[in-house]
Structure 1
Amino acid sequence: MPRPRTYSQAARTHSVTVRVTAEQHAKLRALAVQNQDTLAGYVEKLLTQQSTPHAANQNDGHLPPLAIAELKRLVNALHAAALAPEARIDSENRAIAIALRDVLQVLIADELLAKRINETQQKVSADDTQAPKARNEFQRVVQIYPSRQEGGEP
């Protein structure tokens, strides 16, 4: 009796082989275990889905672009709600909406500034050349010997 199929589509008759270092293999295996999958299954998902489940966690501490866009949308909505003349809200709620709008605007500006700084630092470090190292053939060594005329040893 043949083994039951573990895939839903047609039989798989082709294979792909990739060589990796021991470090890369260990990292892939750890990610596969973290996603409760086999190494082969995890690599197959990486190839077929073109994305990884852990990619959302690797954003270098910055908000994803969709989150920034959503925050901007909220700022615009708060601005419209707080300052619209036809909005019938009391002054206390209006002040809360304006304060929340201001906080979100600062958060967005700070996030965008942090991204620009990070990109600039990466660009500078990529373009920055190493300082030249001293080369031994151009270094002179000067040694002082006693004069022979003063009765020194020959």
Structure 2
Amino acid sequence: MNEFEWRRQLRELRAPVTPSADLWTRIDAALEPAKPAVRSSARPGWLLAASFAGLSLLAVGLSLRQDRLPAASPGSVAATQAPWKPGDPRLAGAAIVLDAADLELKQAIEQAPHSPALQRLLSRTRQQQSRLRQLDQQAG
């Protein structure tokens, strides 16, 4: 078989092919149920009442939780601590990154105050900031 025969066979593959038997009649027959299901009129009312009760409980729970959360103003976290600037310019980039990480972790902790992972990350960030301050004191 040469290249011309391969190309001819590829062109034949592009031609539309009609199936030998109509498949839709068998598909329709398989999808139709044997007998129609009888619907109970009491069930939808019960489901509607249960869903309304569940949504009411959810709304009450969310409103109670919202009342317990402290109101955070947009500048409350940023106003608590001014960023530290090292005297050595080689440490300035690291100081900026650590200050940004500290700020982001404080904001995340406001959202999830009981997260041990966030507390550990904040502790590590503050250790790194302390180490950076020590390096700045040693350098200058």
TM-score strictly above 0.5: no
| Structure that is richer in helix per residue | 2
* Larger relative contact order (CA 8 Å, sep ≥ 6): 2
Query: Quick check: which has more Rg, 1 or 2?
Result: 2
Compute the TM-score of the two structures, normalised by the length of structure 2: 0.31
Compute the TM-score of the two structures, normalised by the length of structure 1: 0.28
